[in-house]
Amino acid sequence: EAGVAQSPRYKIIEKRQSVAFWCNPISGHATLYWYQQILGQGPKLLIQFQNNGVVDDSQLPKDRFSAERLKGVDSTLKIQPAKLEDSAVYLCASSSLAGGPAYEQYFGPGTRLTVT
Amino acid sequence: EDKVVQSPLSLVVHEGDTVTLNCSYEVTNFRSLLWYKQEKKAPTFLFMLTSSGIEKKSGRLSSILDKKELFSILNITATQTGDSAVYLCAVEATWNKLTFGKGITLSVRP
């Protein structure tokens, strides 16, 4: 089966600019996650969707970050305006089961964002 | 707030050495503990542990969980250069929420 797809793979922007990332989960996967991984740290969950509803967005900086998952399939994560500290890899993951085991989270290749 | 602490943060060994990677945690509604390997790309799943004292094994890698003392170890025997990577420990709470540690950077020299 095809894996989680993300685009772009790399993005360089200046601070205060806007940026959007796209994620296409594995077909049929109901749960979608966005993680932020700053260099030298583990991934941090930003937002979790169950179909097109938000399950957890407690660590999403809502003053500048937004995410949506229209129709419960693809998702976009937006940053507006970007700050230097947003430089990170943004990982998307998906899983098939609501409340199922976490090892079934499949990660995409990530988008590396550099804010200058 | 859920917390995962890994140690050491980095280590360098030679091929053939055995290494032990540590992970301690504090989390409410513990469901499982997971180990991942990350090589400059997305994390790949290694083990999931839910019960104390039961060792999970895959080739040269093994892991065990102590739910009383709230820690886990990942052992790698007869290390190879291909084992060089960042090893992430994550704890799962309800609704599949994963809290990751900072990771341990392992470098295996020939």
pLDDT of residue B51: 80
Q: Quick one: tokens of B104?
A: 């341990």
- Residue of B36, B24, B22 whose CA lies nearest to B75: B22
Residue A94, chain B, CB below 8 Å: the answer is no
**Partner-chain contact B41 A110, CB within 8 Å:** yes
Residue of B48, B88, B95 with shortest CB distance to A99: B95
Lowest mean pLDDT among A9-18, A31-40, B73-82, B89-98: B89-98
Q: What percent of chain B has pLDDT over 70?
A: 99
Output the average pLDDT for chain A: 92
> How many angstroms separate the CA of residue B17 from the nearest CA in chain A?
24
d(CA B46, CA B24): 17
pLDDT at position A100 over 80? no
pLDDT at position A103 over 70? no
State the DSSP string of B90-105: EEE-GGG-EEE---EE
Q: Give chain B positions within 8 Å (CB) of A100.
A: 96
Q: Give chain B positions within 8 Å (CB) of A10.
A: none
B50-74 confidence digits (pLDDT tens): 888 888 999 999 999 998 999 999 9
pLDDT of residue B61: 98
* Rounded average pLDDT over A25-35: 92
Residue B31, chain A, CB below 8 Å: the answer is yes
> A71 falls in which pLDDT band (50, 70, 90)?
confident
Q: What percent of chain A has pLDDT over 70?
A: 93
> A70 falls in which pLDDT band (50, 70, 90)?
confident
* Rounded average pLDDT over B74-88: 97
Residue A70, phi then psi, degrees to nearest 5: -70, 140
